[in-house]
Homo-oligomer: A and B are copies of this chain.
């Protein structure tokens, strides 16, 4: 049986929370074996657990706040708009990507594709 909308919503909420405060290991644990990450869309697709872990490890040292703005779930897949604010001594950088995710039957993420471009980064 495929993941329910409630399961998927829970994973999205946890993902967004962990991007702010979680470790790379915690985020990677949301992904299924064989999952892929394309962030941003058009960049090289990450295909191994090591690559995905390394990708999220770059966030670990940063002070970040996140919030889920809108999520749409359909056919066992999801698209959601969320905001990541990265606080530095000089400025706060805000990026609000739209992520598209697919899930396996257990609710683990099987693919993530993040839609954003350099022009979408603002300072607050």
Copies in the complex: 2
A84 CB to nearest chain B CB (Å) = 13
Give which listed residue, B41, B75, B116, B120, contacts A41 with CB less than 8 A.
B75
Whether, in the assembled complex, A5 has its beta carbon less than 8 Å from a beta carbon of chain B, the answer is yes
Range of interface residues on A (Cβ < 8 Å): 20 to 34
**Chain B hits for A5, CB < 8 A:** 117, 119
Q: Are A97 and B76 interface neighbours, CB within 8 A?
A: no
**Chain B hits for A20, CB < 8 A:** none
Whether, in the assembled complex, A77 has its beta carbon less than 8 Å from a beta carbon of chain B, the answer is yes
Whether, in the assembled complex, A57 has its beta carbon less than 8 Å from a beta carbon of chain B, the answer is no
Residues of A within 8 A of B (CB): 5, 40-43, 70, 72-81, 96-98, 100, 114-117, 119-120
Known: A40-B75, A72-B116. 14 other contacts (CB 8 A): A5-B117, A40-B74, A41-B75, A43-B75, A70-B96, A73-B115, A74-B114, A74-B117, A77-B115, A78-B115, A79-B79, A81-B81, A100-B100, A100-B115
